[in-house]
Amino acid sequence: MDKSRLRRRSEWEWEVPRSGRMEVPGILFASEGLIEAMDDKVREQICNVASLPGIVNAAYGMPDAHWGYGFPIGGVAAFDADRGGVISAGGVGFDISCGVRTLLTPFRAEDLGQQRQVLAEALFRRVPAGVGSTSRITLDDGEMEAMLVGGARWAVGRGWGRPVDLNRIENGGQYSGADPDEVSEHAKRRQVEEMGTLGSGNHYLEVQEVTEIYDEGCASAFGLKAGGLVITIHCGSRGLGHQVATDFSKRMILAAREHGIHLADRELASVPVTSAEGQAYFGAMRAAANCALANRQILAHFVREVVREILGEGALPLLYDVSHNVCSLEEHEVDGRKRRLHVHRKGATRAFGPGHPETPADLREWGQPVLVGGTMGTASYVLAGSVSSEALAFSSACHGAGRNLSRSQATRKYRGEDVVERLRRRNIILKAQSLRGVAEEAPGAYKDVDEVVQATHEAGLARRVARLEPILCVKG
């Protein structure tokens, strides 16, 4: 990115000054190295987002920001419905409520011994993964509607998990106000056999070792110990969420013109929150988010079954489940008073600080867990929300490493077989449905997650708690 077009606010914060139609400035949180490596398209998209009606304070880019559909991935923007604020399908993304769930285990790496390969094979067999993957679960019309309304609560009610899990999921495992009637029949048909599936792309299931603790008190409260193992699931709303985004992106492009909204980019299609189209999308989006929560809940149940069969322990309490691609109605302080805002986080994580009432009571003094995913051979992180993040970016943080190569660029540079072999030499077991998919998601296709997390920590968006490294990974 051309730094001459930015104004440096601090070592970790950069301003995109207002120009043209921008209602507010843009703000990028990153080190100098991350800024230099970012595509100029990120700055362009931040400017476009900052031009939308009713935007509040600024359009933000997290340290993992990269080019996306309309909004940059790693983008955050809040809109005030009372002041003409909009809602955007592109500002949420196509994999609605894509997110990360981490399960705690009582094991250490040495406890697995020869069972490590057995566990990898069993997880690969039991957890459906890959393009078009389906599971043994089939939903009829009644169960589809119940799932779209109930989310993880529906899944627990059907025997996939325990009620205590719901305490460690955003919004208690269920987005209220979901409207299944606004989800097209085509979207529902795509999901009939996809519940409890991992999908493809950057989605994964990993057994990870806690290799470093940064905050002993917080780590202990989160249930993390140096040398301990956790299991992390990264996936979203599968075909249903993608179809909801596709359907409403088309509707919003047409409706934006009717509402007099200037779009610098058709992919930024937006409508007033209070419009019929806006309310329809909000209801459909929350239904798709419930689909993602239910999907991760079922996958966690499958994982527990496998671990119980192989290692004799299936309790595996839930550390937390966070969503990345959502628009949430939240209360935030702006200019000294509380306002209800529609906060879009696309490839960004909610990061409420200590004391926030929406953080689980037993974790409230430490702040909300923030789960940051790596990519196969790289580290992942557990962070905690910080008080300062509220004023910085509406309590938001990064969600992963962020790509630095497109998938097509990655497949030209890497071979799946070579990636698998390099990981094997590092004693990381990789089980994947597609070697092309492995090449697309090669560790070198992403930014340095350590640098991204350092920038997130130093900027005050969230603070480091623990570093995790993979010992086995299942991918589509």
Residue ranges of domains in the chain, CATH in brackets = 3-404+446-475 (3.90.1860.10)
pLDDT at residue number 219: 98
- According to DSSP H, which parts of 151-275 are helical? 152-157, 185-191, 216-222, 238-258
pLDDT at residue number 184: 98
pLDDT at residue number 130: 81
Residue 460 CB coordination number (10 Å): 20
Confidence band of 86 (pLDDT split at 50, 70, 90): very high
| Residue 18, CB-side half-sphere exposure with 13 Å CA sphere | 10
**Which of helix, strand or coil describes residue 331?**
strand
Crossing angle, helix 276-311 and helix 238-258, to 10 degrees? 170
Q: Amino acid identity of 7?
A: R
Closest CA to 223 of 233, 232, 234, 210: 210
Q: Does the structure show a pLDDT above 90 at 476?
A: no
Q: How far apart are CA 236 and CA 197, in angstroms?
A: 9
DSSP state of 394: S
Strand pairing partners for 234?
100, 204
Q: Amino acid identity of 269?
A: A
Mean pLDDT lowest among 26-30, 80-84, 175-179, 372-376: 372-376
Cβ neighbors of 167 (< 8 A, separation 6 or more) are: 360, 362
Q: Quick one: 279 exposed, middle or buried, by C-beta within 10 A (0-12, 13-18, 19+)?
A: middle
Strand pairing partners for 370?
383
Work out the mean pLDDT of the chain and round it to a whole number.
96
pLDDT at residue number 402: 92
What mean pLDDT comes out for the span 395-404? 95
Q: How confident is the model over 154-178, as pLDDT tens digits?
A: 999 999 999 999 999 999 999 999 9
Confidence band of 3 (pLDDT split at 50, 70, 90): very high
Estimate to the nearest angstrom the gap between the alpha carbon of 267 and the chain centroid.
20
Judge contact between 351 and 395, C-beta under 8 A: yes
Q: What is the pTM of this model?
A: 0.96
Estimate to the nearest angstrom the gap between the alpha carbon of 76 and the chain centroid.
12
What mean pLDDT comes out for the span 221-239? 97
Q: Quick one: 426 exposed, middle or buried, by C-beta within 10 A (0-12, 13-18, 19+)?
A: exposed
Confidence band of 216 (pLDDT split at 50, 70, 90): very high
Q: How far apart are CA 45 and CA 310, in angstroms?
A: 48
For the record, the structure tokens of 22 come out as: 């921008």
Q: How confident is the model over 188-201, as pLDDT tens digits?
A: 999 999 999 999 98
Q: How confident is the model over 237-289, as pLDDT tens digits?
A: 999 999 999 999 999 999 999 999 999 999 999 999 999 999 999 999 999 99
Cβ neighbors of 294 (< 8 A, separation 6 or more) are: 147, 150, 151, 152, 154, 155, 195
Q: How confident is the model over 338-381, as pLDDT tens digits?
A: 999 999 999 999 999 999 999 999 999 999 999 999 888 899 99
For the record, the structure tokens of 258 come out as: 């009717």
Catalytic residue positions, numbered:
399
Judge contact between 338 and 383, C-beta under 8 A: no
For the record, the structure tokens of 467 come out as: 């570093």
pLDDT at residue number 231: 98
Q: How far apart are CA 179 and CA 288, in angstroms?
A: 9
Q: Does the structure show a pLDDT above 90 at 314?
A: no
pLDDT at residue number 134: 87
Q: How far apart are CA 196 and CA 237, in angstroms?
A: 10
